[in-house]
Amino acid sequence: MSSHKLKEAGLKVTLPRVKVLEAMESLVGSHVSAEDVYKLLLENKTDIGLATIYRILNQFEEVGILTRHNFDGAVARFELKSSNHHDHMICTNSGEIIEFTDPIIEARQKEIAREKGYELLGHSLVLHVKRTGSPA
Residue 69 is assigned to a ligand binding site:
no
- What is the model's pTM? 0.80
106 labelled binding-site residue: yes
The region that residue 34 occupies, defined by phi over 0 for left and psi between -120 and 50 for alpha, beta otherwise, is: alpha
pLDDT digits (tens, 9 = 90+) for 14-64: 999 999 999 999 887 789 999 999 999 999 999 999 999 999 999 999 999
Q: Is the dihedral of CA 38, 51, 82, 123 positive or negative?
A: positive
Domains and CATH numbers, the chain: 2-80 (1.10.10.10), 87-129 (3.30.1490.190)
Q: Residues with Cβ < 8 Å from 41, sequence gap 6 or more? A: 19, 20, 23, 47, 48, 53
Q: Is 86 annotated to bind ligand?
A: no
Confidence grade of residue 135 (pLDDT, cut at 50, 70, 90): low
